[in-house]
Every structure is written in structure tokens, then in C-alpha cells.
Chains A and B, each alone.
Chain A
Amino acid sequence: MSKSEYSTEDFVLDPDFRKWVLENDSESKTYWVEFLAQYPSKVKEIKEARELLIHLSRQKVSLSSSKEAELFAKINQAIEKQESGDKVDATLMVDLDSWSTIQKYNLERERQKRKHLKIRIGVLSGLLLAVVGLFFLPEIKNDPLEQEVKVEWVSFAAPAGVKSSISLEDGSKVHLNSGSKITYPKSFVGGIREIRLEGEAFFEVAKNPEMPFVVRTKHLVTTALGTSFNINAYPEHEIAVSLVSGKVRVEDSQNESNQAILNPGETIKSDLESKSWEKGNFEQEDILAWLNKTLVFEKTSVQEAILMLENWYGVNFEIQGTIPINTTVSGKFKDETLQNILEGLSYSARFNYKINGKTVNLTFKP
């Protein structure tokens, strides 16, 4: 069909016509101006098509980040359910801040209590049998160290921009900050609950004095019996262990003299590279702010702030100009949009910003 026979609808559907109307593309413009001169009778259709195009609208919707994370948790749950048939509990994931989470957690605790009771009865009867067995079979070698148990490790990660929580089989709960990962045995064996962490997490450890809860990060080993604490161990970053309740022991696997027992409110900060080891107090509100969807900058360097934003929102920054080294930023942002935070920081850190989907362009002013 020649364009001279176009109806209004055909004009609307012509990609080149759209380019002219919506993007004012110069090449298209030349073409359509010429076309109009050649077919002046089409002016009515063209006008109508243009009206339609520029007014075409739809409802604007977007999914909130908490709903986004919630849906992803549901998807993972459904997959887990499908893959492991009935055993869902060990990898149960729930969203962070809803009332239902608390309810679920309480239920979980109740269940764990009952389970512990059962385990205790089980252990007792096992011991009884063992004692009886010792009398009858004294020559059997009984070295627990030689019993090699095959441990199957599983991982659970919160990608950048997403926070999630997981309940472990012992009833402990781990809240993962964006861009963090834990690795743990499919089931705890050998009298120890061992977890490996990269990134930041808050642990609520279910009480079990017989089975210490051990969190390994790059060079620090944190041991707890039943307590709650936060560990911040992002790569290329000093590690901070902050205790909220109970008691934990922190050890440096690279340096035996670095050992400390933390009381609530105390924190250990240690960096492998600079071999630093520092005990101090922490502001609970700031350390745990991330659980509450609050991003805190406290005299944070601009470089560091950019890393935190990349992680928090799951975006990438592209930098023009030089990042000021001596400037620091401070501020608390609760459940804010990236744009609002950048707007807030742009004055003190002196930059212009532009957000294009998952990429953010920052131009520092000289």
C-alpha cells in the first residue's frame, strides 16, 4: 500500500511516522514534510494520527521493592517445595518487615521447642544405649573423630537490591542484607552449627548450648550459644561484629592473640589487610537500620557511599570526573527512592546525576 492511501490508523502504525511525532527525528521530519507538501489532502488524517499518538496513555503502575522481594521469596519457596517434595522448612524464606513474618517466626519457634524436646529425649535414650553398649562391647573402638560425616552444603543469597530472611533447621533465623550470601550444611552435624557469610547479616540464634553456632567470615570466627548479633563482612571491607543480646566470642583465625568476648552493645571491627582489631560500642539504631529499610551514612566517604547505593538498589554507577577523596556524607534515609537520596547527596558531594534504569551516571563537578 502506498502511503498516499494511508488512513489515520495506518499513520499511527507507521514506525517512521511515530519517530517523527514522538522523537522529532530529523530524517523522518524531512520525509514527512515533503510528504505533506506532495499530498496536502492527507493533512486531516495526519493531524488525527498525531493527536492519537501524543495522547495515547495507560495506567502507570510499579511494584514496590518489598512486594518485589516478597514475590521472589514466594517463587523460591514454590521451587523448593517442588524440588524437595515435602521438606520445605529448612529453606523457608519470608519477607522482612511484615506482621506475618513475626507470626511465622513465632510458630517456627514453638515448633522448634517441641522438636528440641524430642531431640533431648532421643539423645538421652541414645546415651543410655551407648552406656549399656560400653559394658557389653568394651573392645569396640569408639573414636568420634574417625566417624567421617559427609556434609552437604547449601547456599542462600540475597542479590543486590533485595533483602531476605531464612530460617535454618535449628530454628535460628538469618536476615540477609542486599548482595550477601550464607553457606550452611543441609543439616547440622558434629556438635556444631557452622555458617559461612559473605556480606552482611543479622543472626537470631536459637538457644542450644550443646551445639555452638559458629559464623565464619573472611578471617573472623564468631561463636555464639543463643543470642542475636549483626555481622558486616562485605568483600574488600573491614568486618564488624556487633552484639545485640546474649554473648559471643570473636576470634581472628590469622592472629591468635586477637580474641574477645562481646557483651551487648559492643562491637569488634577488624580488617585483614591493615591487621586492625578494635573493640568499641555501637549505635544499635544505626547498625540495625538496614533491617528497617533505612540506609545510614555516618561520615561515609563518597566512594563508600556509592558502593552502598549500588548494593542497596541493585544498580551500577558510571562515574565521570574524579570522586572527591576528602568529602564525607552523612544522613539517614528510610525507605527512600534512589533519586531522592542522590538529590540529597548531590549538593554536599557536588555531582550531577542521571538514572537510566539500572545504570546511574554521576558527573562530579571539578
Chain B
Amino acid sequence: MTQNRVNPQPSSAEINDQELWESLIKGDRAAFGLIYQRTIQDLYRFGCSLVSDEDLVLDSIQEVFVDLWKYHSHLQKTDKIKVYLFKCLSNRIHKESMQQNKRKTKNEFFIAGEESAIESIEDRLVLNTYNQGMKAQLSKALQQLPFRQKEVINCLFFEDFSYEDTAKIMNINLRSVYTLAWKAISNLKSSISIKIIIGFIILMSK
């Protein structure tokens, strides 16, 4: 694939998910490290999109990896490491956040009104003429959705998982993924229409 390889060692990018996973099952610690390296940012981002408690996310990721090593020899084969790890993380965070529901959540990530802190799926488009206020509003509305609705939107829209993979991660059937996503979109939709109305009222009262 490369015209002029610089790296003399066998490069890690050449190992695919399936081979990497098989090495892990055989007990290759380097494969374990490589899996961490390849997935940590995705897991962190995904975890933070589900709960706004960084400590909880980091603790959960740690437990996922400790268990991954503990049970490495019993793992099923897979060619989608990310799907498997997302599922583990989602389970873990779901369980933990249920237990710690009383613990005050820290809103470390939410910086209201700061555009640079918001990642939009439209960022791929070069056009940038859209309403930033509406983006902030929608990202806030997403934050306030119930856990599972938040999860389904993140999987489908931000992580670009297929309906099938999302079903695996969330451990529900395809039909439920669709229903849940429909409800979530419906909630998001009403959040922006409310905003428009409120904006209108504020304008009128001035």
C-alpha cells in the first residue's frame, strides 16, 4: 500500500482486527497494548458521550481492559474489536451509573456556548453557514436524553455503526434499535421547536 515504507519493522497498521484479537486470545501482551492504543480515544469519547463524569468513564475503561486480559483465553473470535469493547464499556457504565445515581455528576465537559467544544456530524461538510446556536441547543438536548437514547444516537450518528452493530453493542434487537432511535430523534426534534418558540416569545416581549 505504501510506495516507500519508512518503518523497517512490521507495522502495526498491517495487523487487522481479527489477527490482533487472535494474538490476544493466545496471550500476547503486546497485542493487548496495541488494542488499547487503537481504541482508547474512541472508548473515552463514547464513554463521555454517555455520562458526564470523567472519573466514572476512566474507571470503567480500566475495568474493561483488566477484564479483557483476565479472560483473554476465553474470548470469542471477532473481527470487530471496537464493537466488542463498546459493548463492554456500555454495560459497565450503565451498571455503574445506576449504582452511583445518587452521586453528584460532575459536568466537566459541558462548556455552554463554546462552539469549539462541539463536534457536529456536519463538520464533514465544508459549508459552515449553519446556525451554531441550534447546534449548541441540540448537543445540550442530546446530553439530556435518557441513557439508552443517548447511546443509540451516539452509535448510529457519531460512531457510524450500522444498525446491526448498534444492536450488538446495546444488546437489543434490530427493531428495538430503530424504535429507540425514533424516540430519541423525536425528542431532539421537539427540543429545537421549543427553542424556536421560546426565542420568538423573548423577541416579542422585548
Contacts and interface: CB of A to CB of B under 8 A. Distances in A.
Do the two shown chains form a genuine complex with each other? yes
Interface of A: 8-10, 12-13, 22-24, 48, 51-63, 67-68, 71-72, 74-75, 78-79, 82, 157, 159-162, 235-236, 303, 306-307, 310, 314, 316-320, 322-323, 358-359
A12 B185 contact: yes
A58 B119 contact: yes
A58 B154 contact: yes
B34 interface: yes
A57 B6 contact: no
A149 to B, nearest CB: 26
B93 interface: no
Nearest to A48: B189
Contact of B30 (A54, A157, A359): A157
Contacts of A236: 8
Interface in B105-123: 109-110, 116-122
Interface in B135-194: 135-136, 138-139, 142-143, 153-154, 156-158, 178, 181-182, 185-186, 188-189, 192
B75 interface: no
A67 B48 CA distance: 15
B10 to A, nearest CB: 11
B99 interface: no
Contact count band on B: 35 or more
Nearest to A68: B40
B58 A71 contact: yes
B41 A63 contact: yes
Interface stretch (B18-26, B61-69, B198-206): B61-69
B103 interface: no
B100 interface: no
Nearest to B121: A56
B95 interface: no
B49 A59 contact: yes
A322 B3 CA distance: 10
A79 B142 contact: no
Contacts of A159: 30, 33-34, 37
20 contacts: A9-B189, A13-B185, A22-B121, A22-B122, A55-B138, A55-B192, A56-B121, A56-B157, A57-B136, A61-B48, A63-B40, A63-B41, A71-B58, A75-B36, A75-B66, A82-B66, A161-B37, A316-B7, A319-B6, A323-B4
